[in-house]
Amino acid sequence: MGLDLLVMGSVMVEITPATEGQSLGEAEALVPLPSGAATNFAVAAQKLGVQVGLISRVGDDEWGQWLHARLGRLGINIDRVLAVEQQYSPVSFCWMDRHGAKTFYFYRFPGYSDPLGTLTENAIEPGLFSSVRCFDFTEAAIRREPLRSAAFKAARLAREQGCLVIYAVNYRPAPWAGREGEMLQAQRQACSLADVVVMNETEATMLTGFRDHLRAAAEVASYGPTVVAVTGGDQGAWLWHRGQTGHVPAFEVPVLYDIGAGDAFHAGLAVALLRNHEGADAVRLASAVAALKISRSASTDYLPTWEEACKLAGLS
């Protein structure tokens, strides 16, 4: 495939008001965007100048066709984003109000509009990662079987074939309601299969029970990864890297639209590692990507480039 990054996770349609700061009820016009944590990550990474492919599923409907067309135009390899018969593509509605509060509605129901949930281990061929540098997966890929087994098989296979493996905790409580014990076990297993784990401060506490970010990062590192990054919004990010810990301050920028900031950080970190940046430098570049993302419009047209991130971070 000749890809820098192969990403497994959700592909969906995000619908948001055309004017930032308006609620859904106030909006005169709505804008569709390709979305889902894995998709946000993939699109941001592609804009940063690496070649990205997706493993996912969409519905056999017009929204599925729209997602294929839009992702293809953005340069994403969609050979493994297949349409599932008798399923609709999932949709979310989200917005950020004038005070920075965010609202999300997800329309994704098993057996009806959850095509990703149909992906099985059969989709993970033995030679899948022979020409791939990094495999990345997110929490959406481990919610239920048979998808979870497919994701874990992919992570193991990627490691065996010499790929860097990255996992984003990206916890969504609703899909795990009543299954919290199962969630913790699955999350920890996913972390154990990764070289790099990315999470926010709430997820770090949820996963480990520790409120101290560096202690939580060290605990996650004990599961197996060599790099753990914990993001804290305007408080910056904390890093555990091969036994060394540190904190990288956030960049101060005017906030226009900060939905997807975590996915942008995740993309920046992955691309920085692929370009041989390590430790605090990699996190600083990731933080620069996130800062540039939240200072701009929601449109994918305004995602930051690698050159812009390097300039803000003071690195090359």
Residue 31 pLDDT class (50, 70, 90 cuts) = very high
Domain extent for 69: 3-313
Q: How confident is the model at residue 1 (pLDDT cuts 50, 70, 90)?
A: low
Q: Which of 253, 288, 255 is nearest to 269 (CA)?
A: 288
Element (H, E) at 72: helix 62-73
Nearest to 56 by CA among 116, 3, 101: 116
* pLDDT, tens digit, 9 for 90 and up, residues 284-300: 999 999 999 999 987 88
Q: What is the pLDDT of residues 147-195, one digit of tens each?
A: 999 999 999 999 999 999 999 999 999 999 999 999 999 999 999 999 9
Residue 105 maps to which CATH number?
3.40.1190.20
Average pLDDT score over the chain: 95
Amino acid at residue number 182: E
Q: Are the beta carbons of 286 and 310 closer than 8 angstroms? A: no
Q: Which two tokens mark 34?
A: 């390709």
β-bridge pairing 164-168 and 196-200: parallel
Which residues share a beta bridge with 143?
A: none
The answer to whether residues 174 and 168 touch, using CB atoms and an 8 Å cutoff, is: no
Angle at 34 between CA 150 and CA 164, to 5 degrees: 40
| Residue 235 pLDDT level (bands cut at 50, 70, 90) | very high
pTM: 0.95
How many residues would you count in the chain?
316
- Residue with tokens 């890297």, as numbered in its chain: 241
Q: What does the DSSP 8-state code read for residue 144?
A: S
In the predicted structure, residue 98 carries a pLDDT above the cut 90: no
The SS3 of residue 70 is helix
CB contact set of 290 (below 8 Å; sequence gap of 6+): 231, 261, 262, 264, 265, 268
Residue pLDDT, tens place only, 262-287? 999 999 999 999 999 999 999 999 99
Domains identified in the chain, total number: 1
Are 15 and 92 in contact, with CB atoms under 8 Å apart? Answer: yes
CA–CA gap between residue 119 and residue 58 (Å, rounded)? 11
307 burial via Cβ count (<10 Å: 0-12, 13-18, 19+): exposed
Residue 144: alpha-carbon gap to chain centroid:
18
